Amino acid sequence: MNIDWNNLKQEAITAMKKAYVPYSMFPVGAAALTDDGRIVSGCNIENASYGVTLCAECSLVSDLFRTGPGKLVAFYCVDKHENILMPCGRCRQLLFEHSAPGMLLETVSGIKTIEEVLPDAFGPRELNERS
């Protein structure tokens, strides 16, 4: 599958501009390509009760399910300066759960697979193998 990284970045920027961040003032946007060719995106949505805040990756996964089935094959995340962001550990696990094997991420140190950024991960594939 051909990945248009520039298009993913632009989609992430568009999503970032819709973020609701009255507390941190740190908008984040994310976009991903699915195995059926769709682009899904999300932004962070803060809440006065900080623990209820949604990260951009969570919003993106919601969009994945809202628009149809599928697995993520490529991912891009940006901050308010349009710089690449690396998902935190929690978000890496969230992405792994919904990724195709070998999903690619644009990171601050270049393109890496989901398995490289979350080594020895445990998710649905491992559950199926051990059932």
- Average pLDDT along the chain: 96
* Strands 72-78, 99-107: pairing kind: parallel
DSSP-derived letter for residue 53 is: P
* Rounded Cα–Cα distance for residues 13 and 129 (Å): 37
Instruction: Answer yes or no: are the C-beta atoms of 96 and 125 closer than 8 Å.
Output: no
> Has 97 been annotated as catalytic?
no
Amino acid at 35: D
Q: What percent of the chain has pLDDT over 90?
A: 91
How much is the pLDDT for 127?
A: 85
> How would residue 130 be classed by pLDDT, with cut points 50, 70 and 90?
confident
pTM for the model = 0.95
Whether residue 108 has pLDDT greater than 90: yes
How much is the pLDDT for 1?
A: 80
* Token representation of residue 66: 């809202």
* Rounded Cα–Cα distance for residues 98 and 91 (Å): 11
Whether residue 129 has pLDDT greater than 90: no
- Give me the catalytic one of 11, 46, 57, 106: 57
Range of the domain at 88: 5-130
* Rounded Cα–Cα distance for residues 2 and 5 (Å): 9
CATH code for the domain in which residue 115 is found: 3.40.140.10
pLDDT in tens, 21-80: 999 999 999 999 999 999 999 999 999 999 999 999 999 999 999 999 999 999 999 999
Amino acid at 75: F
Number of structural domains (the chain) is 1
Whether residue 126 has pLDDT greater than 90: no
Whether residue 128 has pLDDT greater than 90: no
How much is the pLDDT for 114?
A: 98
How much is the pLDDT for 96?
A: 97
